[in-house]
């Protein structure tokens, strides 16, 4: 009788264990460029509604900082960058699944100023900074917005001219904050961030010619350390589909 009871308990434990394993919630951690913050909130809500067993956590920041976290072993399932450089670097280092890299959206650059600024220019070539004025842009070494900004300023022959008056931000959100608070007279940001900023804080004064910088492409990829490869791939496929693309378009991104 005692032996039969042990066998019964072991069988019950095995069945219970299997049931818990099958019904467990899947948790995904997404590292996404800061410019995707608002759009990702809606996209994640939609994805979780369609996948009731999945919980998604989004970590945002500059693409360079997020890439460095992955290099250091941070538990990330999907990486979404604001340029191809960091994805390609992580792929070559073996941190990303090569067959999972997909371009999910695009963006463009605009020149902003405080909403009460008297500035009346329509291009970077017309920019003339006074000695007491500063220009905010992302750090070219870690933030893709900084890299694109540097390229555009160089194309307009303004980089060397105003090098001492540049204020570097950790990401595009901080660029907007510098301009909105009058800590910078101008700033270069993505059109998506200009669209979601408070109209009372900043205004767009010029669109930046896309020929003056590398294409603003957002690739996404599954990391090699994920234990949820299939669900991670499903998440990227979800972003490629119409529902998520409509959300991205609403926030100023484009599919071109």
238 is a domain residue: yes
Regarding whether 49 and 11 lie in a shared domain, the answer is: yes
Q: Report the pLDDT value the prediction gives residue 73, as an integer from 0 to 100.
A: 95
Burial class (CB in 10 A: 0-12, 13-18, 19+), 207: middle
Regarding whether 35 and 155 lie in a shared domain, the answer is: no
Regarding whether 226 and 100 lie in a shared domain, the answer is: yes
Give the CATH number for residue 15.
Answer: 3.40.190.10
Please give the residue range of the domain that contains residue 159: 109-207
Q: Report the pLDDT value the prediction gives residue 198, as an integer from 0 to 100.
A: 62
Regarding whether 157 and 72 lie in a shared domain, the answer is: no
Regarding whether 63 and 40 lie in a shared domain, the answer is: yes
Count Cα atoms within 13 angstroms, Cβ side, for 181.
Answer: 8
Question: Quick check: 121 and 250 in contact, CB under 8 A?
Answer: no
Pairing of strands 186-190, 135-138: parallel
For the record, the structure tokens of 18 come out as 């299997």
Regarding whether 123 and 100 lie in a shared domain, the answer is: no
Number of domains in the chain: 2
255 is a domain residue: no
Regarding whether 72 and 29 lie in a shared domain, the answer is: yes
Q: Report the pLDDT value the prediction gives residue 200, as an integer from 0 to 100.
A: 76
195 is a domain residue: yes
256 is a domain residue: no
Q: Report the pLDDT value the prediction gives residue 19, as an integer from 0 to 100.
A: 41
Q: Report the pLDDT value the prediction gives residue 256, as an integer from 0 to 100.
A: 64
203 is a domain residue: yes
**Virtual CA dihedral for 182, 185, 187, 192, nearest 10 degrees?**
50
Regarding whether 228 and 102 lie in a shared domain, the answer is: yes
List Cβ neighbours of 7 (8 Å cut-off, separation of 6 or more).
Answer: none
Regarding whether 7 and 101 lie in a shared domain, the answer is: yes
39 is a domain residue: yes
173 is a domain residue: yes
Regarding whether 99 and 174 lie in a shared domain, the answer is: no
**CA atoms of 229 and 97, how far apart (whole Å):** 9
pLDDT tens, residue order, the chain (256 aa):
444 444 444 344 444 444 444 444 999 999 999 999 999 999 999 999 999 999 999 999 999 999 999 999 999 999 999 999 999 999 999 999 989 999 999 999 999 999 999 999 999 999 999 999 999 999 999 999 999 999 999 999 999 999 999 999 999 999 999 999 999 999 999 999 998 876 679 999 999 999 999 999 999 999 999 999 999 999 999 999 999 999 999 999 998 6
Regarding whether 114 and 18 lie in a shared domain, the answer is: no
172 is a domain residue: yes
Regarding whether 184 and 246 lie in a shared domain, the answer is: no
Question: Quick check: 173 and 34 in contact, CB under 8 A?
Answer: yes
Using only the alpha carbons of the chain, give its radius of gyration: 23
> How many other β-carbons are positioned within 10 Å of the β-carbon of residue 12?
10
């Amino acid at each position: 009788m005692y032996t039969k009871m042990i066998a019964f308990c072991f069988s019950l434990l095995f069945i219970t264990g299997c049931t818990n394993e099958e019904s467990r919630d899947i948790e995904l951690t997404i590292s996404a460029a800061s410019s995707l913050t608002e759009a990702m909130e809606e996209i994640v809500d939609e994805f979780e509604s369609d996948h009731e067993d999945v919980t998604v956590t989004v970590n945002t920041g500059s693409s360079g900082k997020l890439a460095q976290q992955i290099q250091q072993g941070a538990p990330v399932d999907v990486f979404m960058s604001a340029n191809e450089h960091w994805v390609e670097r992580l792929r070559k280092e073996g941190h990303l699944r090569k067959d999972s890299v997909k371009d999910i959206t695009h963006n463009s650059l605009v020149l902003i100023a405080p909403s009460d600024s008297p500035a009346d220019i329509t291009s970077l070539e017309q920019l003339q900074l006074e000695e007491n004025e500063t220009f905010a842009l992302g750090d070219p070494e870690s933030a893709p917005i900084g890299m694109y900004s540097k390229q555009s300023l160089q194309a307009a022959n303004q980089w060397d001219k105003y090098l001492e008056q540049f204020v570097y931000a950790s990401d595009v959100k901080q660029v907007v904050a510098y301009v909105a608070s009058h800590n910078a007279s101008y700033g270069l940001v993505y059109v998506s961030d200009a669209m979601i900023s408070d109209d009372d804080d900043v205004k767009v004064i010029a669109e930046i010619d896309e020929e003056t910088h590398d294409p603003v492409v957002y690739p996404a990829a599954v990391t090699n350390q994920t234990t949820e490869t299939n669900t991670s791939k499903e998440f990227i496929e979800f972003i490629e589909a119409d529902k998520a693309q409509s959300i991205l378009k609403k926030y100023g991104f484009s599919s071109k």
